[in-house]
Amino acid sequence: MLKLTSVKINHEPSKKSIMKFVVSLMNWMKIYYVSK
Instruction: Please tell me the predicted confidence (pLDDT) of residue 8.
Output: 63
Separation CA 1–CA 6 (nearest Å): 9
CA distances from 27 to 6, 11, 14, 16, 17 (A): 33, 24, 20, 17, 15
Separation CA 21–CA 29 (nearest Å): 12
E strand or H helix at 6: helix 2-35
Could you tell me the end-to-end alpha-carbon distance of the chain, in angstroms, rounded to an integer?
Answer: 52
Instruction: Please tell me the predicted confidence (pLDDT) of residue 23.
Output: 93
Split the chain (36 residues) into runs of 10 and give each run's mean pLDDT: 60 77 92 84
Instruction: Please tell me the predicted confidence (pLDDT) of residue 36.
Output: 72
Instruction: Please tell me the predicted confidence (pLDDT) of residue 33.
Output: 86
